[in-house]
């Protein structure tokens, strides 16, 4: 039986445009990508909010992957909707609109079962809400947390409180520099460790990921693909996959386990970027993850 992992964050609609085309009102949101990614290793249960415009068809990818959506609250109004476009190399996104809609008043309330979760992934939401969740969970063995530049600039005090309760902290390179004022990423990572996080994973986009921890410093390249279709949600997929894998272990806090989790995160992200939305991520067949992990391991060996 898979171990449970609680995922708290946004379930949204995305409208994305890039050099490959357009996708209108497709399933997006940090909790969507991270929970579906985690589902291949653990049993995710999400806490999120959507509007009455969120249909059974929109819920289908969660159900297909065995994600528990009993904590998906439906409120009168419209679902969070983000729209943006990417430059030709799919690295930089320009936001055209962010309609928070029902997500604006999101207040995560956990069920009794969710309060007993042994692993928690706090997706990219207001740190005040992340603190609220941490007050509700009873005795988690693993707390993973993601953030973004907006919260660093507008909710830094609350974010620093979250850091002190975080085992695994995810952020990208620009956010690491913004949070610490350090340009060198190893120096920035060490500074975040001093702020309270036990292990820091810096997402490097097309350059992979870096671990800064008292256990060691490691950098992995990405899983190399010839055809990249859309990079939306890749970071959330990475975090969810890594956390789901660690949640499946009896002892997760070793260098070997975290390195393996990073490899898995990179491989899971490689599926996400092969399509718009979660289409490819939610349709991974038996053996595909292991096959890519073998290819990835072979790539890393000399």
Mean confidence (pLDDT) of the chain: 95
Looking at residue 2, what is its pLDDT? 80
Strands (E), the chain: 4-8, 12-18, 21-28, 43-51, 68-75, 81-86, 93-99, 119-122, 142-146, 168-172, 199-203, 209-213, 216-220
How far is residue 147's CA from residue 114's CA, in Å, rounded to a whole number?
A: 22
CATH code where residue 11 lies: 3.40.1190.20
Longest dimension (CA), the chain: 57
Condensed to tens digits (0 to 9), the pLDDT of residues 234-248 reads 999 999 999 999 999
How far is residue 101's CA from residue 167's CA, in Å, rounded to a whole number?
A: 31
* Confidence (pTM): 0.96
Total number of residues shown for the chain: 302
DSSP string, 238-289: HHHHHHHHHHTSS---SHHHHHHHHHHHHHHHHHHTTSSTTTTGGGPPTTHH
Give CA 167 to chain center in angstroms: 15
Condensed to tens digits (0 to 9), the pLDDT of residues 149-178 reads 989 999 999 999 999 999 999 999 999 999
List the domain range (segments joined by +) for residue 53.
4-300
Stretches in the chain below the pLDDT threshold 50: none
Looking at residue 11, what is its pLDDT? 98
How far is residue 16's CA from residue 27's CA, in Å, rounded to a whole number?
A: 11
Check if the beta carbon of residue 168 is closer than 8 Å to that of residue 201. Answer: yes
Helix ranges (H only) for 137-254 are: 149-154, 156-163, 173-180, 185-194, 234-247
Domain count, the chain: 1
């Amino acid at each position: 039986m898979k171990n449970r992992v609680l995922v708290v964050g946004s379930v949204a609609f995305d409208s994305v445009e890039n050099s490959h085309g357009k996708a209108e009102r497709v399933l997006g949101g940090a909790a969507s990508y991270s929970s579906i990614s985690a589902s291949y290793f653990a049993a995710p249960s999400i806490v999120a909010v959507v509007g009455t415009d969120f249909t059974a068809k929109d819920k289908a990818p969660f159900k297909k992957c065995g994600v528990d959506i009993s904590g998906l609250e439906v409120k009168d109004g419209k679902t969070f909707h983000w729209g943006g476009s990417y430059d030709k190399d799919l690295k930089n996104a320009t936001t055209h609109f962010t309609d928070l809609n029902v997500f604006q008043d999101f207040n995560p309330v956990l069920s009794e079962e969710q309060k007993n979760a042994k692993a928690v992934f706090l997706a990219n939401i207001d740190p005040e809400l992340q603190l609220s969740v941490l007050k509700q969970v009873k005795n988690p063995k693993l707390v993973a947390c993601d953030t973004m530049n907006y919260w660093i600039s507008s909710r830094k005090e609350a974010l620093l409180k979250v850091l002190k309760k975080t085992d695994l902290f995810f952020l990208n390179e620009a956010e690491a520099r913004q949070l610490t004022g350090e340009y060198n990423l190893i120096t920035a990572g060490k500074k975040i460790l001093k702020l309270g996080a036990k292990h820091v994973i810096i997402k490097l986009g097309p350059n992979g990921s870096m671990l800064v921890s008292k256990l060691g410093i490691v950098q992995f390249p990405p899983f190399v693909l010839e055809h990249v279709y859309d990079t939306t949600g890749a970071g959330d997929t990475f975090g969810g996959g890594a956390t789901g894998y660690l949640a499946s272990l009896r002892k997760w806090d070793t260098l070997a386990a975290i390195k393996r989790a990073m490899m898995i995160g990179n491989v899971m992200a490689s599926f996400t970027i092969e399509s718009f939305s979660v289409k490819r991520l939610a349709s991974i067949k038996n053996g595909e993850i292991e096959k890519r992990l073998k290819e990835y391991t072979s790539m890393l060996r000399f």
